[in-house]
Amino acid sequence: MLTYKIDGEIYLSLPRPEIDSTALFKLINDSRNELMPWLPWVLKIKSIADERETLKRNAQSLDTVSSLNLVIWYKMKLLDQYLLKIGIRIIKKLKLAIG
């Protein structure tokens, strides 16, 4: 599994469709109203199966270098709606690391 360590508690990784789709669907579904203005694809994810197929499709796009979709892990758990503030910290660190 491809991972990128941000610090001792936070890392990014490629999602694993068969393993992560249930947890990711729950996060999407629980935060649907907050996500929709920024991520219009949320409307297309209506089930765990939809999320699994999306993850598989995204993994295939790595071959064409058209996108890179990663999940955020915090203390060995997928980022949840209560930890979205951590996302801001990650973005700031990535901007510093990338330049």
Give the pLDDT confidence of 18-58 residue by residue, as tens digits. 999 998 999 889 888 877 887 888 899 999 999 999 999 88
pLDDT at 56: 92
Q: Above 70 in pLDDT, residue 84?
A: no
The pTM for the full model equals: 0.71
13 bridge partner residues: 3, 71
Burial (CB count within 10 angstroms: exposed 0-12, middle 13-18, buried 19+), residue 24: buried
Residues of the chain with pLDDT > 90, as a percent, come to: 23
pLDDT at 91: 60
pLDDT at 54: 92
pLDDT at 3: 87
pLDDT at 45: 95
For tokens 């930890």, the residue is 83
Give the pLDDT confidence of 59-76 residue by residue, as tens digits. 887 776 666 788 888 887
